[in-house]
Structure 1
């Protein structure tokens, strides 16, 4: 299990394939396990990397950290591996980290793919949703709460549930304290003033039915990055790579090969 240490925290990563480096950055409370299909697909043409961010997966789980720590961890990983140029695909929280890297070290980025993204947030998107529906959830059972939140998050729910079940053995569930730390790290970030400094060709992908980071948040990013394009997946919510997997791989592959 390859690991490296970033500012005293041991982080797990995977590396497969050869070619131009492509780094995958996962979402909140997830891990490299969410990219199983993407790694299998892209390793044929790319040197694919995926990292468990601090507080997630098989990496160390401190109970206090910030979004900027995630950003620096990714930069440290690239330096550790001697990578001077990389394309980055980040999903949800991973897209925030990717934006931070592209702003801090624009010369590192070949192409940037931001999936179900936003450029700013007072809270994590999942916490924002919980806050919006605070009056509707307390009387529901845990199962009913999950069903309620899924309806507001995804469009192709059976596909999402199927993949979650398939990845269940590979994902490492966070304790309540670890989950709270992961959420808190995303509080109060705002990349909007700096996104104009991003120089990479950028693709922003949103899902039409995404109740966490709806398409208007993705379009806001496109307006701020000079070389950015926007694609809305019309049969997806917050997981386009799961809800419309063939279209997702096609769009991303075409963009990377241009």
Structure 2
């Protein structure tokens, strides 16, 4: 595990990154977990990537895993951290795979630094509300009963991610998604990366039609549904590897 020190207004922030695999002709794959998780959620997929000859960078977002708890959990801060990690590791360009909050941070990275992201896989990415109707629909970082039951089994097997999770993240992130941000949708036109949006289908709390609209707004993006709920890479890992891994090999 590599620990990256990022200077901030409130002092240095530690960002933890698990690096593995051997650098090759293709860019490394940056893996970004969702809220309440850490880099270990990608263990199976990272193994598949390494077997295919890819170098892998799996981060712990701020407030998660072995990264620091700065108390600042603005959405922009998560994406700025990703860019800082790439700078610190001297990585010019990556393919990025993100889940949920991590997918949202990854998408913001692709918006603000399009030259740094070659390909982008967005699993169950929550879009910003476009207007008050979206706000009233109440799409936030939550989960269904089925998702919580499946998550409980995972927690019993590996409790460390939740134990290391700063609960303040949820409040700040949830509040951010209660504000309409139509300009965020306009900025999607700045995404130049090849993009695949994966929906967990009817079992997810994120309505599939919103993710389809997001994919239709990103230039040239593809859209795929895998009926799994919110954590596709965890609950349908072979199907996820086929879709995400296959997409990355086409770059």
Choose which of 181, 185, 193 in structure 2 pairs with 1:192. Answer: 185
Q: Does 1:29 align with 2:21?
A: no
Q: In 2 relative to 1, CA 188–34 (structure 1 residues): closer, same or farther, beyond 3 Å? A: farther
CA deviation map 1:96-155 (0-9, x unaligned) = 10110000000111100000113214577235x7xxxxxxxxxxxxxxxxxxx323x47x
Contact map agreement 1:31 1:52 (CA 8 A) in 2: yes
Q: Moved runs in structure 1, 4+ residues, more than 6 A? A: none
Query: Could you say what secondary structure the match of 1:74 adopts?
Result: helix
Change (3 A) 1:242 1:177: closer
Which deviations, in whole Å up to 9, do the C-alpha atoms of 1:47-68 show, x marking residues without a partner? Answer: 1001111111111112233111
Match of 2:63 in 1: 55
Query: How far apart, in 1, do the equivalents of 2:64 and 2:246 lie?
Result: 30
| Aligned positions of 1:198-237 closer than 5 A | 198-234=191-227, 236-237=228-229
TM score, norm. by length of structure 1? 0.81
Between the two proteins, the alignment pairs up a number of residues equal to 233
| 8 Å Cα contact 1:28-1:182 kept in structure 2 | no
Change (3 A) 1:84 1:187: farther
TM-score (norm 2): 0.84
Aligned with residue 108 of structure 1, among 105, 109, 116: 116
Q: Does the alignment pair 1:11 with 2:4?
A: no
The equivalent residue for 1:77 is: 85
1:150 aligns to what?
A: 145
Structure 1 residue runs without a partner (length 5+): 130-148
Which residue does 1:64 correspond to in 2?
A: 72
Q: Distance in 1 between matches of 2:126 and 2:166?
A: 26
Unpaired runs of 5+ residues, structure 2, are 130-134
Q: Report the Cα distance in structure 1 between the residues aligned to 2:31 and 2:178, rounded to whole angstroms.
A: 22
8 Å CA contact 1:118, 1:221 repeated in 2: no
- Partner secondary structure for residue 65 of structure 1: coil
Cα distance, 1:178–1:207 mapped onto 2, change above 3 Å: closer
Cα displacement string for residues 161-204 of structure 1 (whole angstroms, at most 9, x for unaligned residues): 44343322455343544543454465537421100111111001
In 2, the alpha carbon distance for the partners of 1:88 and 1:194 equals 18
State the SS of the aligned residue for 1:193: helix
Structure 2 residue 189 is matched with structure 1 residue 174: no
